[in-house]
Structure 1
Amino acid sequence: MASNSNVVFGDEESQLSGGTNRVQPCSSTPRNRNTIDDDGKKQNFLSLSQRLGIQDFFCLDVWRASMGELLGSAVLVFMLDTIVISTFESDTKMPNLIMSILIAVVITILLLAVVPVSGGHINPVISFSAALVGIISMSRAIIYIVAQCLGAVLGALALRAVVSSSIEDTFSLGGCTVTIIAPGPNGPVTVGLETAQALWLEIFCTFVFLFASIWMAYDHRQAKALGHVTVLSIVGLVLGLLVFISTTVTAKKGYGGAGINPARCLGPAIIRGGHLWDGHWIFWVGPTIGCVAFYVYTKIIPPKHFLAEYGFKHDFVGVVKALSNV
């Protein structure tokens, strides 16, 4: 059977006690293919297709699990963008704070709902970082990310169907923005954040998100000590805090705050279009760099943090080694 490292957040008992997750790959690597290298460490001889998890593309259970990612992302986009619009439409004196608290609560609830189905990603950042570390295969990550993007589009469509055209024009469906065109004394002017600043914020916020919360799910010792619900609550809390920081510290009109979820930014951009595409690449490149930086960090710290005694079989370094042997 598969190891317990195929999802980021799994059933607590199975993930932490060596059982199997609800979502299993279609095939597993025989144990008798392991040998001992010169340093006394076990070395897995896996083919490139096994490292990449190509079999996941042909596994019905993986595609079924991706439905959880699709629907979870759709609800996430609808709820988060609704929160953004409603808090700024209200008369509250601190809309950023209220928005961040509500976002933390919604994300925690959605993670608890999606965890039993797919492992609880609903964010390309989590799927990609999990694939780099090796917790899931790159093939599964691709399936999940595509599902998340499709779900984000559905969520943006649902939001567009229920809001008025004036609110849609004012808030751009709650999409991710770096700059906007605003009226000025001498005509329209571009206001917002500088490209470099926005990119650095994405990189920093993504790394902090992974370092301060998601790593607790990767580290079996912390996950077991804190408990399933606590870890997911911390994930929601950290995301809410990062949203508050990125929208408050910068205090720039036109900048919608750090995305930290490329799929959430993509949905409104596809449905609404226009200025939402301006600088949209930042919400993909920034998190990608943040994920790579986090992966480098995981290779520096002691390996005993990993669930697998000899590392995960889908680890990116293992993929590169398998590729070099082709």
Structure 2
Amino acid sequence: MSFLIFITITILLLATIPISGGHINPVITFSATLLGLISISRAFIYILAQCVGAVLGALALKAVVSSKIEQAFSLGGCTLTVIAPGPNGPITVGLETGQALWLEIICTFVFLFASIWIAFDHRQAKALGRIPVCLIIGGVLGLLVFISTTVTAKKGYAGVGMNPARCIGPALVRGGHLWNEHWVFWAGPAIACVAFYLYTKIIPHQHFHAQGYKHDFFGILKALIGVDGGLAK
């Protein structure tokens, strides 16, 4: 499973970098927005497109797989729990919400730090080249999914999402238990993106060379409230 994620993500990144810069995941887009690499309006369009694409993908998968496979794998959706037969009737088994939230936060931050960092830093990206960067991102993502499922070893838990769009697509198409604690797959990555942004502000600037920053999210907020001569004046 992790190897398939690695291959799929790498191919998708290579295909979409010339079009959108590889924005196939709201985590990438939101963190890029906070850093000021893209504008808020562009981020909104990207995230909307990502969610629509996830829904279309789930619909396509639903159309071609059998109902048994659909039920077993939940159209590739994100799950914390599943209903399983018990001695006294059906029971809910899976991962606790708090554990899942922490896993989303930690794994998404590691994903940003260990791979997306390289893509955002134009100096490193240029030195490594497009294909190695995509391989690193795909490899880190697949490894984190593998670790999250291996460490928890909980039936019903599909592993860290680290991609809210991938989670919402199957949830909208199939519904049911895919909506259980669905907010975790949005809140966790969002918190991690903010933490990553704050980290880039703390470290010395010479350690992170990213093109852009003209749309820096908190810089815009400061301007709006008048800290740097915005609306308050």
Give TM-score scaled by structure 1 length: 0.68
CA distance in 1, matches of 2:98, 2:120: 31
Q: Which amino acid aligns with 1:242?
A: L
Q: Which amino acid aligns with 1:291?
A: C
CA distance in 2, matches of 1:248, 1:100: 11
- Residue aligned with 2:152, SS: coil
Q: CA deviation at 1:307?
A: 3.2
Could you tell me which of 205, 216, 222 is aligned with 1:315?
A: 216
Q: Deviations over 1:269-289 (max 9, x none)?
A: 000000000010000000000
The residue that corresponds to 2:3 in the other structure is 101
The residue that corresponds to 1:301 in the other structure is 203
Q: Which amino acid aligns with 2:150?
A: T
The residue that corresponds to 2:184 in the other structure is 282
Could you tell me which of 49, 58, 65 is aligned with 1:147?
A: 49
Q: Which amino acid aligns with 1:243?
A: V
Q: CA deviation at 1:243?
A: 0.8
- Residue aligned with 2:93, SS: strand
Q: CA deviation at 1:224?
A: 2.0
Q: Which amino acid aligns with 2:219?
A: G
Q: Which amino acid aligns with 2:33?
A: A
Q: Which amino acid aligns with 2:32?
A: A
The residue that corresponds to 2:160 in the other structure is 258
CA RMSD of aligned residues (A): 1.0
Q: CA deviation at 1:221?
A: 2.1
Give TM-score scaled by structure 2 length: 0.94
The residue that corresponds to 1:214 in the other structure is 116
The residue that corresponds to 2:30 in the other structure is 128
1:236 matches 2:142: no
Q: CA deviation at 1:218?
A: 1.3
The residue that corresponds to 1:87 in the other structure is none
Q: CA deviation at 1:210?
A: 0.3
How many residue pairs align between the two structures? 226
Moved over 3 A (4+): none
CA distance in 1, matches of 2:76, 2:52: 17
1:196 matches 2:81: no
- Aligned pairs (5 A) from 1:39-54: none
- Residue aligned with 1:182, SS: strand
Structure in which a larger fraction of residues adopt helix:
2
CA distance in 2, matches of 1:220, 1:303: 13
Q: Which amino acid aligns with 1:258?
A: V
CA distance in 2, matches of 1:211, 1:136: 19
Consecutive unaligned residues of structure 2, counting only runs of 5 or more, are none
CA distance in 2, matches of 1:307, 1:146: 25
- Residue aligned with 1:181, SS: strand
Percent identity of equivalent pairs:
74
